[in-house]
């Protein structure tokens, strides 16, 4: 049998919790982070869709959403960067199509 004093000595001490809220506890920061994560995913999806259709509209949207997600501190940084890359690619495809075909849309065949 162990005595009470032995049990107290072997129990690890819990760290004292501060009364100040941390960033993780702040509901406003948590809400902004969730919105930034959503913007990062939306940037990726819009950039991906923009490579196929409506690159004039979806490319800049992907660039704006990716930039906003990064400035608001998203946890999905890779998706935001992919959205930025795909948005820039959309605009590059648009410029390429406009200079070679004289059109702003894809077409197959002659």
- Model pLDDT for residues 64-105, shown as the tens digit of each residue: 999 999 999 889 999 999 999 999 999 998 898 888 877 776
> Is the entire prediction scored with pTM above 0.85?
no
CB 39 within 8 A of CB 69: yes
Q: In this structure, are residues 75 and 34 in contact, taking their beta carbons and an 8 Å threshold? A: no
Q: What is the pLDDT of residues 9-61, one digit of tens each?
A: 665 655 555 554 455 557 777 777 888 899 999 999 999 999 888 888 999 99
| pLDDT for position 10 | 64
Residue among 37, 41, 19, 18 at smallest CA distance from 29: 37
What is the domain partition of the chain in residue ranges? 27-100
Decide if 37 contacts 69 (C-beta within 8 A): yes
């Amino acid at each position: 049998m162990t005595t009470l004093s032995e049990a107290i000595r072997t129990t690890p001490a819990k760290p004292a919790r501060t009364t100040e809220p941390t960033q993780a506890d702040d509901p406003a920061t948590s809400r902004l982070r969730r919105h930034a994560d959503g913007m990062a995913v939306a940037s990726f999806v819009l950039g991906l869709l923009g490579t196929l259709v409506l690159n004039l509209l979806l490319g800049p949207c992907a660039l704006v959403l990716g930039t906003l997600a990064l400035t608001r501190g998203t946890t999905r940084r890779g998706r935001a960067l992919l959205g930025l890359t795909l948005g820039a690619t959309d605009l590059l495809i648009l410029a390429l199509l406009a200079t070679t075909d004289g059109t702003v849309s894809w077409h197959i065949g002659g």
